Chains A and B, each alone.
Chain A
Amino acid sequence: MMPLSLPMQTVESTQVGEPWLNMTIFGLFVAVTLVIVLRASRNTKTAADYYAAGRSFSGPQNGTAIAGDYLSAASFLGIVGAIAINGYDGFLYSIGFLVAWLVALLLVAELLRNTGKFTMADVLSFRLRQRPVRIAAAITTLAVCFFYLLAQMAGAGGLVSLLLGINDRLGQSLVITVVGGLMILYVLIGGMKGTTWVQIIKAVMLIAGAFVMTIWVLAIHGFNLSTLLGAAMETAGNPEIINPGLQYGISSTSQLDFVSLALALVLGTAALPHVLMRFYTVPTAKEARRSVVWAIWLIGAFYLFTLVLGYGAGALIGADRITAAPGGVNAAAPLLAFELGGPILLGIISAVAFATILAVVAGLTITAAASFAHDIYANVIRKGNLDPDGEVKVARRTVVVIGILSIIGGIGAQGQNIAFLVALAFAVAASANLPTILYSLFWKRFNTQGAIWSMYGGLGSALLLIAFSPVVSGKETSMIQGADFALFPLNNPGIVSIPLAFFLGWLGSVLAKTTEDPQKQAEMEVRSLTGVGAEKATEH
């Protein structure tokens, strides 16, 4: 095994023992969660049990699970690293990721909980023509899940090289396969209930770990934020690190790119299918609301921690040592853990980072499987003539297929920019899903043609603009080297594709010749606001 070079720079004697410590702590996490998943799976019988955990979770539990689902490795390692190196511009991500939850809280969560059953397509096809809308919604769901999955799996590979000292491609591929295999096992056995428990445990570990490190960093700097910033400026040798513009202020294109990214972040969250599906695991709309409130507090607190951790890594380790470490920018948080608490804290933080990837991947897989089994197979191919047991059987098989696909994709995507893939998933979600979600909840005249135009237009334009962006070709950091067909100057397509999708939804609706059933529109509105039929009957 290759020696782990990152702690080697600081403590020579721990270079070999540490990967084993990391693996032991991670193995412990896997063992504990596996027992919990097995226990949870005992009561999983119906489709509602499998997809929605029997709607048995409370608001606080679900809120914690949402935080576990949302705070991916990109948020933790990515943002800490971005702040450590680019200073203030890294902080801008956190703000977009957090403020976005207000869209979910105010406009989407409760109404969605009241009108849907298992998937996003349930809501979107409620009052429109079933087949075309369901197919479109399932396609956009699968597209978003796929990009998000790729990002997480590629992230797993990168993390391994950093934390376990496995630097060769074969070893990394092996670890991706192990992570994928574990995830298949969790989702197959535990369904949504098992997945939710994995996310809850992971969220608690992640937030607690970040909290301890935050207090530690602040204690070193006399609990004074100004002192910490001063130390970061001193280590960086650049006072600009506390000011905006270090990363995005280079040119007018990068400035516009940042606005585009900000738009995708704030509008993408409430349209991420795996986040939306979590709202079905609670019994009532009121619990859905409590879930979001808990999620906002936990996620907000976590991003405040990352601000301290990012500048802490900048001050105590410095950008030069971070970029030189294997894993580059993503190494900031683990390096900081090592600097503070030695090999034990590094081991814990490494296990947390692995758990993070595992939990997010499990959530994405069950969402994609539910969308295929419930929307495409049961409702479109079998036209609803399938009993729930048969549907769950299909969902379980889909889990295996998606798991294998994501392992292959993850191996193929090794070395790709993780943050780009995640931002891409947000942009695709905001373009393809959000306009249709908002229109069908709030606009009476919205119809099938508008939904189809908006979803395919949003998805297509987002994908097309990405294909012709500098991310894919024309730069040293691009996916395809030695070619330049980057006709679109921005990395993120949001600023074009999101307004376009809203426009197409409006245009398609006003140009449509057929009208929708006003009864269904009225039913959706009454159900969405009152929760009638979606909740346990009130005690009389």
Chain B
Amino acid sequence: MATESSPPEAGTAAPVDFIAYQQNPQFKELRKRHRSFVFPMAVFFLLWYFLYVLLASYATDFMSTPVWGNINLGLILGLAQFVTTFAITMGYVTYANRKLDPIAADIRHELEVTAPEIFTEQPGAKK
């Protein structure tokens, strides 16, 4: 069975100085890497999605342009939404595995060593 491990109830006083950790260059790097990927990507896919929605709603003639047989531009752009969703998903996973996970694991390890009584479960406490 998996070890039960979860954050303590919010509201308990934290004896660890998290503000200091927030200023830690390694943590700042992690936050920068995370945000520099997810924010632009979120803006991109939302703009692309709403461009598509607006075209499908207001530019129906344009979307009805036949491309190949009975397949029109609207269908191709709709399927392109599927393709970009899958592509962004895979891109994020690759990025997170390479650029986020190792550095997050380092910081986690460091914090666990600093304050084991807070970050690791006492055996038997929750079982």
Name the distance in Å between A81's Cβ and chain B's nearest Cβ: 18
Whether A99 is near chain B, meaning CB under 8 Å from some CB there, is: yes
Q: Interface size class for chain B? A: 35 or more
Q: Is the CB of B10 within 8 A of A125?
A: yes
Given A259-B57, A384-B9, is A530 in contact with B82 using a C-beta cutoff of 8 Å? no
Name the distance in Å between B80's Cβ and chain A's nearest Cβ: 10
**Which of A244, A292, A534 is the one whose CB lies under 8 Å from B6?**
A534
Point out the residues of chain B lying under 8 angstroms from A535, CB to CB: 5, 108
Name the distance in Å between A342's Cβ and chain B's nearest Cβ: 29
Given A102-B88, A533-B119, is A259 in contact with B54 using a C-beta cutoff of 8 Å? yes
In whole angstroms, how far apart are the Cα atoms of A46 and B1 in the complex? 13
**Which of A262, A280, A523 is the one whose CB lies under 8 Å from B18?**
A523
Whether B126 is near chain A, meaning CB under 8 Å from some CB there, is: yes
Q: Is the CB of A532 within 8 A of B71?
A: no
Name the distance in Å between B78's Cβ and chain A's nearest Cβ: 6
Whether A225 is near chain B, meaning CB under 8 Å from some CB there, is: yes
Whether A514 is near chain B, meaning CB under 8 Å from some CB there, is: no
Point out the residues of chain B lying under 8 angstroms from A96, CB to CB: 49, 53
Q: Could you give, for residues 87-123 of chain A, a 1 whenever the CB lies within 8 Å of some chain B CB and a 0 otherwise?
A: 0100110011011011101110000001111000010
Name the distance in Å between A291's Cβ and chain B's nearest Cβ: 12
In whole angstroms, how far apart are the Cα atoms of A322 and B17 in the complex? 64
Whether B124 is near chain A, meaning CB under 8 Å from some CB there, is: no
Q: Is the CB of B60 within 8 A of A259?
A: no
Whether B8 is near chain A, meaning CB under 8 Å from some CB there, is: yes
Q: Is the CB of B112 within 8 A of A532?
A: yes
Whether A531 is near chain B, meaning CB under 8 Å from some CB there, is: yes
- How many residues on chain A are close to B (CB under 8 Å)? 79
Q: Could you give, for residues 506-539 of chain A, a 1 whenever the CB lies within 8 Å of some chain B CB and a 0 otherwise?
A: 0000000000001110110111011111111110
Q: Is the CB of A242 within 8 A of B85?
A: no
Point out the residues of chain B lying under 8 angstroms from A442, CB to CB: 35
Instruction: Please report the number of residue pairs spanning A and B whose Cβ atoms sit closer than 8 angstroms.
Output: 214
**Which of A259, A292, A300, A522 is the one whose CB lies under 8 Å from B19?**
A522
Q: Is the CB of A55 within 8 A of B6?
A: yes
In whole angstroms, how far apart are the Cα atoms of A88 and B64 in the complex? 10
Q: Is the CB of A530 within 8 A of B6?
A: no
**Which of A107, A519, A523 is the one whose CB lies under 8 Å from B42?**
A107
In chain B, what residue has the closest Cβ to A226? Answer: B69
In chain A, what residue has the closest Cβ to B71? Answer: A226
In chain A, what residue has the closest Cβ to B34? Answer: A529
Q: Could you give, for residues 4-32 of chain B, a 1 whenever the CB lies within 8 Å of some chain A CB and a 0 otherwise?
A: 11111111001011110110000100110
Given A244-B74, A384-B9, A525-B31, is A532 in contact with B107 using a C-beta cutoff of 8 Å? yes
Q: Could you give, for residues 43-62 of chain B, a 1 whenever the CB lies within 8 Å of some chain A CB and a 0 otherwise?
A: 00110011011101110100
In whole angstroms, how far apart are the Cα atoms of A224 and B4 in the complex? 51
Q: Is the CB of A233 within 8 A of B70?
A: yes
Point out the residues of chain A lying under 8 angstroms from B70, CB to CB: 226-227, 229-230, 233, 242
Name the distance in Å between A73's Cβ and chain B's nearest Cβ: 22
Most buried by A among B64, B89, B116: B89
Q: Could you give, for residues 265-305 of chain A, a 1 whenever the CB lies within 8 Å of some chain B CB and a 0 otherwise?
A: 01000000000000010010010010011001100100110
Point out the residues of chain B lying under 8 angstroms from A266, CB to CB: 46, 49
Q: Is the CB of B5 within 8 A of A105?
A: no
Q: Is the CB of A56 within 8 A of B1?
A: yes
In whole angstroms, how far apart are the Cα atoms of A537 and B90 in the complex? 28
In whole angstroms, how far apart are the Cα atoms of A534 and B92 in the complex? 22
In chain A, what residue has the closest Cβ to B69? Answer: A226
Point out the residues of chain A lying under 8 angstroms from B56, CB to CB: 88, 92, 244-245, 258
Whether B36 is near chain A, meaning CB under 8 Å from some CB there, is: no
Q: Is the CB of A55 within 8 A of B104?
A: no
In whole angstroms, how far apart are the Cα atoms of A103 and B92 in the complex? 12
Point out the residues of chain A lying under 8 angstroms from B74, CB to CB: 88, 242-244
Q: Could you give, for residues 93-116 of chain B, a 1 whenever the CB lies within 8 Å of some chain A CB and a 0 otherwise?
A: 100100001001101110111001
Q: A52-B6, A233-B70, A244-B63 are in contact. List 14 more A-B contacts (CB 8 A).
A: A48-B4, A54-B4, A55-B6, A92-B78, A106-B38, A114-B7, A245-B57, A293-B90, A297-B86, A518-B19, A519-B18, A520-B14, A526-B107, A535-B5
Query: Which A-B residue pairs are the 3 nearest by beta carbons?
Result: A226-B69, A522-B18, A245-B60
